[in-house]
């Protein structure tokens, strides 16, 4: 039988790519979006959830009745909760208070226990979601801590799946890979595979204004003065994750909340792709990169769209939320004017 699976986990991976025709019209290169929302958990994090959990099973670390603990901005939590249901594990998640209520409801609907932690505290603060997850793991017998920011299996999952898929889908013609960076696993694993195939492929990471990753890549030092609150979930960091292999990244581009929000909604309106906030961020990053670099008609760019916009209906897709952030009130109808008058930073 075709397209019939034993359970939902059989749908993970082999996501489609779609050519972007409108939002990247000013870029001479051919641009494809890798739609990770086509995973059953609707994000790229499905890949690492099943890979890390199955690796733990093979080592005998996870046994029936075990508990999986993790730090998440939402997507990894969804994926872990989904895998835990099928495999019979308990799931405990620590999330930041930037996480919208509908995401928390989604996690709970999948049976996860959720702890909400303040976002704007140092990573080593005992209240941070990193430290809370560690404490829960230590206090929970028979648990494992996924630790996606510092777990090399995060990178390996994408080295084994995402990278090869992109290479095959572009028939080896890819010249540029661009993706948002949070843990760094998606970009690093994909880049590692692709650069083994062709070292000339350019790898571009997209960082958030308020994060330290771009600055660290350029200087090798952490500049705490760069840290400030921002709204984009799932990208940027106030710590340096070991899952982000900086040596594989040719350049970082930094984007802000407002322009990324406009791009997210523009992609929905002009390409009919309902992507998450980071979808807009990666396209904004690509456009900024295109302004400062000469891309040609021979170039083939793959942009990884990490998740689905349904998780951001009360955030970036909400006119009220946009207005509350001080963004353009009539943003749905004024993209062209915004992009003409706003200098790309």
| Active site members | 45
C-alpha to C-alpha distance for 24 and 33, rounded to whole angstroms: 11
Closest alpha carbon to 148 in 43, 260, 256, 281? 43
Whose structure tokens read 């749908």? 11
| 35, two tokens | 């739609």
Cα–Cα dist 78/104, whole Å: 10
Cα–Cα distance, 209 to 224 (Å, whole number): 13
Task: Report how far residue 220's alpha carbon sits from residue 227's, in angstroms, rounded to the nearest whole number.
Answer: 16
User: Exposure of 269 by Cβ count < 10 A (0-12 exposed, 13-18 middle, 19+ buried)?
Assistant: middle
Buried b or exposed e, range 162-192, using 16+ CB within 10 angstroms:
bbbbbbebbeeebbbbbbbbbbbbbbbbbbb
Q: How far is 202 from 262, CA to CA, in rounded Å?
A: 26
Of 336, 189, 174, 183, which Cα lies nearest the Cα of 265?
A: 336
């Amino acid at each position: 039988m075709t397209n019939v699976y034993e359970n939902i986990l059989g749908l993970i991976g082999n996501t489609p790519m779609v050519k972007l025709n409108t939002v990247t019209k000013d870029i001479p290169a051919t641009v494809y979006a890798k739609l990770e929302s086509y995973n059953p958990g609707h994000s790229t994090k499905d890949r690492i959830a099943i890979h890390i959990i199955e690796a733990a099973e093979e080592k005998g670390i996870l046994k029936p009745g075990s508990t999986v603990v993790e730090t998440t901005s939402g997507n990894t939590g969804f994926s872990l909760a989904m895998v835990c249901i099928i495999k019979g594990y308990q799931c405990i998640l620590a999330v930041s208070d930037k996480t919208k209520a509908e995401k928390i409801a989604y996690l709970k609907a999948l049976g996860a226990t959720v702890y909400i932690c303040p976002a704007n505290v140092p990573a080593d603060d005992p209240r941070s979601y990193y430290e809370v997850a560690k404490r829960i793991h230590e206090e929970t017998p028979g648990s494992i801590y996924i630790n996606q920011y510092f777990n090399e299996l995060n990178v390996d999952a994408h080295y084994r799946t995402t990278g090869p898929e992109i290479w095959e889908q572009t028939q080896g013609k890819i010249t540029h890979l661009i993706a948002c960076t949070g843990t760094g696993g998606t970009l690093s694993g994909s880049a590692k595979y692709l650069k083994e195939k062709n070292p000339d492929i350019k790898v571009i990471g997209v960082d958030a204004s308020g994060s330290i990753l771009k600055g660290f890549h350029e200087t090798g030092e952490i500049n705490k003065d760069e840290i400030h609150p921002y709204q984009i979930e799932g990208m940027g960091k106030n710590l340096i994750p070991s899952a982000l292999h900086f040596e594989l990244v040719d350049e970082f581009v930094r984007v802000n909340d407002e322009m990324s929000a406009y791009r997210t909604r523009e992609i929905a309106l002009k390409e009919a792709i309902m992507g998450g906030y980071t979808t807009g961020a990666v396209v904004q990053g690509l456009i900024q990169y295109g302004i400062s670099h000469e891309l040609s008609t021979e170039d083939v760019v793959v942009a990884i769209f990490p998740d689905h916009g349904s998780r951001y209906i009360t955030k970036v897709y909400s006119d009220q939320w946009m207005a509350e952030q001080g963004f353009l009130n009539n943003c749905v109808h004024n993209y062209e004017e915004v992009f003409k008058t706003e200098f790309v930073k």
